[in-house]
Structure 1
Amino acid sequence: MTKAFKLAVIPGDGIGKEVIAAGMKVLTYLEEQSDGKFKFESDYFNWGSDYYLEHGSMIPKNGVETLKDYDAIYFGAVGDPRVPDHVSLWGLRIAICQGLDQWANIRPVEFLPGINHRIAHPDPESLNWILVRENSEGEYSGIGGRNFSARPDEREVAIQSSIFTEHGCERIIRFAFDLARTRKRKKVTSVTKSNAQQYGMVLWDEVFQRVSKEYPDVETDQWLVDAMAAQFVLNPDDLEVVVASNLFADILSDLGSALAGSLGIASSANLQIDKRFPSMFESVHGSAPDIAGKGVANPIGTIASAALMLEDLGLQEEANKVHEAIRRTTAQGIITRDIGGTSNTEEITNAIIKNLTL
């Protein structure tokens, strides 16, 4: 009996359309080779900046509710010079993440073969760690406002509050520990700035210390975020599972991907761990309007995100094949210009599909 998976596909803006097309090409190939094991029933949604310019919102009023009927969401990118960034981000990606309580964001950092890595290390391909990002509250809670705009002499006031709840801290920290138990090295590193943020992040530290006692088999350490940024560069061998707040994990994941060669290779999953709603899978890079439509966008991050989606759907064997096909492709020197190559989007996608057959 064929297992059908309903996918909500949101290409979004800029190169999102191109890399999503690449990822769907890989998924279609896997479906064709599955001998009827599974199939994807995909519905495309044209939400994004073009939709905003026509309708005044990034998604329809009932858009998030519509997504609840799907098994997974495959997302491209958001951002357009014609729309303020805070409008496009809050109107689409964050609206989905918060609206579907996708509270755990994972961002693997992998040093693929054949790529110009940006780190001084004798064996960079041995490095492999994962960022676990609290994805529902913290610095991206959206609590605050702007007032007194009518005052003279530029005296408007803006207030932006961070929200840290014990429940939110505990569930993401516990998720990080559970994830660490699945890896060869069982270690969790917690990142805060609790010396300067003495309320929310001290709460985080206290929850981390409490939860860690339930995982005596897992090694732990705690760092301030500025020192952790240095650790990423100076001591990457010490990293395994790194858990941090919404903002800090967002920044550190970009640093990790840059060290690995490019944001174009970085995958990401916004997970609804409770399975009440679908999870959303996207690459870390943005919409890159400067190269949109030129056919040179790096599809690796989006294809690797499709592999994370396959894992979430229970297709672990297929996910492993995609990860391995990506490694074979980069090892063959078939890479885009952002990671030191000359291949275009289509060539890399076709090479990954070819390497799926090996």
Structure 2
Amino acid sequence: MRRIAVIPGDGIGPEVTAEALRTLRAVAPDLEFDVLDHVNADRYLATGTALSDDDFARVASCDGALLGAVGDPRVTSPDYARDVLLRLRFELDLYINHRPAQLLHDRLSPLRDQGRRPIDCTVVRENTEGPYVGVGGALRVGTPHETAIDTEVSTYRGVRRAMEFAFARATRSVCLVDKANAVPHNGTLWQRCFREAAALRPDLPTRHLYVDAAVMLLVQDPTAFDVIVANNAHGDVLSDLTAQLAGGPGTAASANLNPQTGYALCEPVHGSAPDLAGTGRANPLAAVLSAALLLDCAGRAEQAERIRTAVRTVVRDLRCTADIGGSLTTSGAGAAVRDALHGE
């Protein structure tokens, strides 16, 4: 991976992305960047275009992408975010959402029991199927008989490749999370694919939990999990829970992957946070850690680990933003990470 597309986006996106890019340049000066800073809500409001075909072609021609955030309170239609995020996920076939959650420091955990705080797990979320594909519709809108239908879609191919990725990443165990007792047709397919994947890794402990039980156990003891695999909707919720257990959205990174092509689109999960935009209070660490994920996907594990080590150092030393115990600004926290890199 040599060339990376960058979409800073909206709200705090440009601020945190700038720190991530500076950090990437510090550890991997050979990388090249194609910055699409016009893909944002301002252009959408002015032209109605979220991501043009030319924009998509530029992103697709790169080896990977870094996204800041998409979303603006002035835009009331969901089409804007869908046309950027879901178009990239679906048309690049980024069928895995990879959400690692690792506690950076003991003080960041919301759990009282110290022995159960050190979460170190990954949610593998199928990223291109489920209820987010847009199959459905509405009848008699605006009347007392209004009916809304959204259909959950699972294919053998889609579920199988999510399982393959989950089992390839696991070192301690894999847990399938579903709601097969209430959604039996999708559940049956997921459980069959889970059994087939497990049969190829007889050395690896496996477990199945319904999503309500999984949520309770994650809060009770997140250290019980290694890799969790789930459909698009359940994985969406579970990965936000694991992010909070690991320190909150300010440190949560994610990768949208196609393991077959090697393409990765990495992004912080905190959203555009328009209330923080321009205040200097946005935490850049999720964007910086997303950049580290991008390096992982590029086979640059050593460079990625340098960034993560630097992040752990600044969090430990309280050289970070206020949301995780420090007092630095967005740019100050980014500079602290790079200082920690130089002081290795």
- Please give the secondary structure, in 2, of the residue aligned with 1:199: helix
In structure 2, C-alpha distance between the alignment counterparts of 1:125 and 1:157, rounded to whole Å = 44
Structure 2 contact 99–254 (Cα < 8 Å) conserved:
yes
Partner of 1:130: 122
> How big is the shift at 1:84?
2.4
Structure 1 contact 103–136 (Cα < 8 Å) conserved:
yes
Query: Aligned match of 1:341 in 287, 309, 326?
Result: 326
Cα-Cα RMSD: 1.7
**What percent of counterpart residues are identical?**
34
1:96 maps to a residue whose letter is: L
> How big is the shift at 1:110?
1.1
Partner of 1:102: 94
2:149 maps to a residue whose letter is: I
Structure 1 contact 334–341 (Cα < 8 Å) conserved:
yes
Structure 1 contact 335–342 (Cα < 8 Å) conserved:
yes
Where do 5+ consecutive residues of structure 2 fail to align?
Answer: none
> How big is the shift at 1:313?
1.4
Partner of 1:167: 157
Q: Deviations over 1:211-257 (max 9, x none)?
A: 21111111100000011000111121210011111111111111111
Where do 5+ consecutive residues of structure 1 fail to align?
Answer: 33-37
In structure 2, C-alpha distance between the alignment counterparts of 1:124 and 1:195, rounded to whole Å = 29
- Please give the secondary structure, in 2, of the residue aligned with 1:333: coil
1:205 maps to a residue whose letter is: Q
- Please give the secondary structure, in 2, of the residue aligned with 1:68: helix
In structure 2, C-alpha distance between the alignment counterparts of 1:11 and 1:39, rounded to whole Å = 17
Q: Does 1:329 align with 2:314?
A: yes
Q: 1:123 to 1:348 in 2, by over 3 A?
A: farther
Partner of 2:255: 269
Query: Aligned match of 2:27 in 25, 30, 33?
Result: 30
Query: Aligned match of 1:295 in 262, 280, 286?
Result: 280
Partner of 2:198: 212
- Please give the secondary structure, in 1, of the residue aligned with 2:207: strand
Q: Does 1:304 align with 2:289?
A: yes
- Tell me whether 60-69 or 287-296 shows the greater mean CA deviation: 60-69
Structure 2 contact 106–118 (Cα < 8 Å) conserved:
no
Q: Tell me how many residue pairs correspond in the alignment.
A: 343
Partner of 2:46: 54
- Tell me whether 52-61 or 18-27 shows the greater mean CA deviation: 52-61
- Please give the secondary structure, in 1, of the residue aligned with 2:31: strand
Q: 1:85 to 1:268 in 2, by over 3 A?
A: farther
> How big is the shift at 1:97?
0.5
Structure 1 contact 20–76 (Cα < 8 Å) conserved:
yes
Q: What aligned pairs does 1:51-200 form with structure 2 within 5 A after superposition?
A: 51-84=43-76, 86-113=78-105, 115-123=107-115, 126-149=118-141, 153-180=143-170, 183=171, 186-200=172-186
More helix by share: 2
Q: Does 1:250 align with 2:236?
A: yes
- Please give the secondary structure, in 1, of the residue aligned with 2:25: helix
**TM-score computed with the length of structure 2 as normaliser:** 0.95
**TM-score computed with the length of structure 1 as normaliser:** 0.91
